[in-house]
A and B are shown apart, each in its own frame.
Chain A
Amino acid sequence: MRFIVLRRKTIPRYHTWISTAISLILGILVYLFITILVGRSPLEVLVNIARSFISPSIVKDFFVLIAMGCALLISFKAALWNIGGEGQFYIATIPGILLTLFIFNPRHNPAPAPLVILLVALTGTIMGAFWAFIAALFRAYLKIDEVPVTLILNYVAYYILNYLIFGPFKGRYVYGYLRTDEIPEIYRLNVRVHLPMRGDPLQVALQNLTVQLAYYIALLVLAVLIYVFTWWFFKHCRIGLYTKIHGSNPSYLQAVGVSVNHIILLTMTISGALIGLTGSIYLLSELGRIPYEIERQTAGYGYLAILVSWLSLLDLKMIPFSAYIVSALRNAGIALQVAGLGGVEQSLLLIGAILLTYSITRFLVEYEVRFEW
Chain B
Amino acid sequence: MSSKVLSTSANISSAESVENVILSARNISKSFPGPVIALDRVSLDLYAGEILALLGENGSGKSTFVKILYGIYTPDHGEILMKTGRILERVTINSPADAMSKGILMVSQVPQLISKLTVAENMALTLTSLRIHGVKSLTSIKKILKIISEESEKIGIKIDPNEKVYNLTYTQKQLVEILRAMIVNAKILLLDEALTYLPLLERRKLYQALLKLKEQGGSIVIITHKISEAMEISNRIAVLRAGKIVGVVNTWETTIDQVRVMMFGEERSKQISYVKVQTINPRGEPRIIIRNLHVEDDYGREIVRGVNLTIHAGEVVGIAGISGNGQRELLESIVGLRKIKSGDIYVDNVNVKRSGVKNIRELGVSFIPDRLLEHGISPEESIVENIAACTVRNGINIPWGLIEEISRELINSYQIIAPSTKTPVKYLSGGNILKTIVAREIENAKKALIACNPTRTLDEVSAIYVRRRIREKAVNENLAVLIASEDLDEVLMVSDIIYVMNTGRLYGPLTPEAPCEDIEKLMVM
A contacts, CB < 8 Å to B: 2, 4, 6-11, 236-239, 241-242, 244-245, 247-249, 251-259, 372-373
Contact = CB atoms under 8 A, between A and B. Distances in A.
Nearest to A255: B375
A253 B393 CA distance: 12
B515 interface: no
Interface of B: 1, 31-35, 74, 76, 92, 94, 335-337, 356-362, 367, 369, 371, 373-381, 385-386, 388-390, 392-393, 395-398, 400
A249 B379 contact: yes
19 contacts: A2-B94, A7-B33, A8-B33, A9-B31, A9-B34, A9-B76, A241-B381, A244-B380, A249-B379, A252-B374, A252-B375, A254-B357, A255-B335, A255-B376, A256-B361, A257-B357, A257-B359, A257-B360, A258-B389
A249 B378 contact: yes
A248 B398 contact: no
Contacts of A248: 378-381
B357 A244 contact: no
A372 B94 CA distance: 12
Given A9-B32, A258-B358, A238 B377 contact: no
4 pairs of A and B residues whose beta carbons are closest in the complex: A257-B358, A255-B375, A248-B380, A257-B357
B398 A241 contact: yes
Given A245-B381, A252-B389, A255-B367, A236 B33 contact: no
B155 to A, nearest CB: 36
B357 A256 contact: yes
Nearest to A242: B389
A259 B33 contact: no
Nearest to B444: A256
Nearest to B397: A236
Of A11, A238, A255, A373, most buried by chain B (CB within 10 Å of CB) is A255
A257 B92 contact: no
Contact of A238 (B94, B373, B397): B397
Q: Is the interface of A mostly helix, strand, loop or mixed?
A: mixed
Contact of A245 (B367, B371, B373, B389): B389
B337 A254 contact: yes
A54 B369 CA distance: 56
B452 to A, nearest CB: 12
Contact of A373 (B1, B359, B396): B1
A299 B240 CA distance: 61
A369 to B, nearest CB: 12
Contacts of B398: 236-238, 241
B354 to A, nearest CB: 14
Contact of B377 (A6, A239, A247, A249): A249
A199 B400 CA distance: 53
Contacts of A259: 358
B397 A237 contact: yes
A247 B374 CA distance: 13
A136 B379 CA distance: 25
Given A9-B33, A238-B392, A245 B378 contact: yes
A80 to B, nearest CB: 15
Nearest to A6: B74
A9 B337 contact: no
B371 to A, nearest CB: 8
A256 B381 CA distance: 15
Given A2-B94, A255-B337, A244 B33 contact: no
A315 B377 CA distance: 22
A79 to B, nearest CB: 10
Contacts of B376: 252, 255
A208 B277 CA distance: 78
A12 to B, nearest CB: 13
Nearest to A8: B33
A256 B35 contact: no
Contacts of B393: 257
A237 B395 CA distance: 9
A240 to B, nearest CB: 9
A245 B386 CA distance: 9
A8 B388 CA distance: 29
B74 A4 contact: yes
A256 B380 contact: no
Nearest to B37: A9
Given A252-B389, A255-B367, A10 B35 contact: yes
Contacts of A6: 74, 76
Given A2-B94, A257-B356, A241 B397 contact: no
A285 to B, nearest CB: 30
Contacts of B397: 236-238
Contacts of B76: 6, 9
Contacts of A8: 33
**Of listed B32, B369, B386, residue having the most chain A CB within 10 A:** B386
A6 B77 CA distance: 12
B382 to A, nearest CB: 10
Nearest to B92: A2
Nearest to A370: B74
A244 B369 contact: no
Contacts of A237: 396-398
A9 B335 CA distance: 39
A4 B76 CA distance: 10
Contacts of B357: 254-257
B369 A255 contact: yes
Nearest to B391: A256
Contacts of B380: 244, 247-249
Nearest to B94: A2
Contacts of B390: 256
Contacts of A2: 92, 94
A185 to B, nearest CB: 39
Nearest to A250: B378
Contacts of A4: 74
A257 B369 CA distance: 13
A258 B359 CA distance: 10
B35 A236 contact: no
Contacts of A9: 31-35, 76
Q: Which of B34, B92, B396 has the most CB of A within 10 A?
A: B396
Contact of B389 (A10, A11, A241, A373): A241
The listed residue with most B CB atoms (<10 A of its CB), out of A245, A253, A259, is A245
A241 B380 CA distance: 12
A135 to B, nearest CB: 24
A37 B215 CA distance: 69
B399 to A, nearest CB: 10
Nearest to A372: B92
B261 to A, nearest CB: 31
A171 B71 CA distance: 69
A351 to B, nearest CB: 28
B395 A238 contact: yes
Given A6-B76, A9-B32, A256-B390, A244 B381 contact: yes
B96 to A, nearest CB: 16
B437 to A, nearest CB: 10
Contacts of A257: 336, 356-362, 393
Contact of A244 (B92, B360, B385): B385
A252 B360 CA distance: 15
B358 A11 contact: no
Nearest to A239: B396
A333 to B, nearest CB: 35
B518 to A, nearest CB: 35
A10 B34 CA distance: 7
A248 B367 CA distance: 20
A251 B1 contact: no
Contacts of B392: 238
A282 to B, nearest CB: 28
A77 to B, nearest CB: 10
A10 B369 CA distance: 33
Contacts of A252: 374-378, 386, 389
B422 to A, nearest CB: 13
A9 B357 CA distance: 38
Contacts of B369: 255
Contacts of A241: 381, 385, 388-389, 398
